[in-house]
Structure 1
């Protein structure tokens, strides 16, 4: 009887260990995002750069995401060692980010951040593929693993807001280095799974993945995602700076940003239920529509903490629902041997091209805060166009659940 119980318990224990290992990687990866996304603009502003220069830097470093994910995915296919790519990316990202301690000028800082982003982008696509293969593409389990990334974002967003308010913009670099060290350590505990190894057997088959990329459903999905990332640029790049200029305290800024991620966490928990009742197309259209409303409303209610908080709840749709639906689309649209490249193409194109365009437009329109209203209107229009595109793809039945 003891032996029987031991064998029954082993899979559960193994799953718990794997869950902790996967969740910790998401926690530290997105904790770093919780530092960079809201506070990089404040760090650069503290270095004396104008909003246009900040926008240019954000555009340049975001542009590295256009090519880098696909390059790293190809390297993972060739080497058949995706975990090595994850660990190498974490190590080199740590080294390049640490260089910010010694540089203060425009081009050296831009180079350090671009180099950091180049290596950082090696991590997420391979981590997503590794996670989906490990959990056997379970939407419910993926959502619960991924929510730890949101928790990491919340923790560092709050801590960084207060730290940078009390210690100055240089606290940004120290917090980033500490988080990257933790991320590197957490990657060392990941273990390879058989599905990951099988990805590379037929990696050199360009025709099948080309057909999937040229599929009308994927093109509409890709364009809508790109427009969503364009719309997110003012929020990711300048929202914390926007709130600081409105005289909100560092702690308040961190809490307002974190509130959106709290809503995101709740949405991740219930994604399994949402997938049962709504098609992917419905979820994508809803997310884009809510996002458009968020950006249109921010300039109107910026002086009200209550209204800003309410608007932040929309992040549950803007990110959690959209991201989960997107990952399910990609997982379903591409075959097992195409998953790494599919992730690379999506992240590189949508986050790279969309993010770079959005960052540059934001830098041009922001005008050191004078053009904030017009910038958020541009963002709202971009998300709205994305929603319209997805509405017109409804009849094409984008992988119903």
Structure 2
């Protein structure tokens, strides 16, 4: 078990408690403030858009100056300043500026923390899932408790809940300490040369398409449920159910990867993803079908995330650790997530809410094709 396992777990708990609570209910907050579906789509896409810039900037700074924990702390304080914008004014412009500043600084925190974890684990990912699951537990606890508060006191309390969780994340960062990086006998390959390799391009295309499909959840799922007559308590419970399944997968994943490997697990998660989004689109008024689809989050998020991180280690390790994690976040969640969110927002307006999930299913099909190409090219390049 890594020496800082408890500190990593605490930071991830607080970070995902804040990120999960805000992303789950922000659509309802913006709708309450009079924003249209198109405006909400743009505002929520900032979570993904800023992941294009934030993780790479902070990943470079953290790697270049070897002060990853300091970067985590400073980013937390800057995000807190940005979040204050949600208490000032109620126009689209105010909200846009606040979302840009908040996500510019929070977007780099998770990949830096994961880079610290991977450095301390020294290539042994046995305990990765059991530490990473605490981020999911933080999500469950916070989203569930927040749903009760919002049901009783109204959506106007959301910024107060989210800012308290942001302060907790900053405090948790003060428990972390930097991890000395291993020295390598040979210099790492140039970053651009790695990014030109066809198997790396196909890998990032696959993860970006998978995340694009998931923006149908991250951006619209709460609004989708509310407009189909479900209460905030049910919405919170549905999110918590999905993340509970994710936690269990993270806890028990090590034997699965030892036996089957990252490639087979990746194919499994993509197959489940196609089915899951079809079920959500078909089951808007069938609660048991929506429940079953939420349980599949264990595969479409947790299993996909771990498979991606393990695949990433083939190309990005040692001095490129933080930037590799940052590239994964910025390309997959940043480019893939932002384009997916904006595209699906327009699709919702033109074709209706249910059709968004049918399109998401098609995106996963393309993700699977890109993954197959990546693994095939990796095998060819070995010989």
Give the TM-score normalised by structure 1: 0.90
Contact 1:63 1:356 in 2 (8 A): yes
Q: Partner residue of 2:49?
A: 63
Residue 252 of structure 1, aligned match among 234, 253, 257? 234
What SS does structure 2 have at the residue aligned with 1:279? helix
Alpha-carbon deviation of 1:61? 4.2
Deviations 1:99-135 (A, max 9, x none): 2111211011110011000010121111011011122
Residue 262 of structure 1, aligned match among 221, 228, 244? 244
The 1-side partners of 2:15 and 2:274 are apart by: 27
Q: Partner residue of 1:311?
A: 293
Q: How does 1:266-285 map to 2 (within 5 A)?
A: 266-285=248-267
| Number of corresponding residues | 380
Alpha-carbon deviation of 1:397? 4.6
Alpha-carbon deviation of 1:281? 1.9
Give the stretch that moved more between structures: 343-352 or 388-397.
388-397
Matched, 1:372 2:358: no
Residue 371 of structure 2, aligned match among 390, 395, 399? 390
Q: How does 1:157-176 map to 2 (within 5 A)?
A: 157-176=143-162
* Higher Rg: 1
Contact 2:46 2:103 in 1 (8 A): no
Q: How does 1:73-152 map to 2 (within 5 A)?
A: 73-152=59-138
> 1:367 and 1:395, CA in 2 relative to 1: closer, same or farther beyond 3 A?
closer
Contact 1:230 1:358 in 2 (8 A): yes
Matched, 1:180 2:161: no
RMSD: 2.1
> 1:139 and 1:77, CA in 2 relative to 1: closer, same or farther beyond 3 A?
closer
Residue 218 of structure 1, aligned match among 180, 200, 203? 200
Contact 2:88 2:94 in 1 (8 A): no
Give the TM-score normalised by structure 2: 0.94
Alpha-carbon deviation of 1:60? 3.5
Deviations 1:201-240 (A, max 9, x none): 97xx7x5222222222211110010001110111111111
The 1-side partners of 2:313 and 2:124 are apart by: 10
> 1:128 and 1:24, CA in 2 relative to 1: closer, same or farther beyond 3 A?
same
Q: Partner residue of 2:142?
A: 156
Deviations 1:58-83 (A, max 9, x none): 22442111122111111112322111
Alpha-carbon deviation of 1:254? 0.9
Contact 2:12 2:134 in 1 (8 A): yes
What SS does structure 1 have at the residue aligned with 2:313? helix
Q: How does 1:212-361 map to 2 (within 5 A)?
A: 212-361=194-343
5+ long unaligned stretches in structure 1: 1-11
The 2-side partners of 1:397 and 1:267 are apart by: 27
5+ long unaligned stretches in structure 2: none
Contact 1:55 1:361 in 2 (8 A): no
Contact 1:96 1:116 in 2 (8 A): yes
Contact 2:200 2:374 in 1 (8 A): no
The 2-side partners of 1:323 and 1:48 are apart by: 35
Q: Partner residue of 1:39?
A: 25
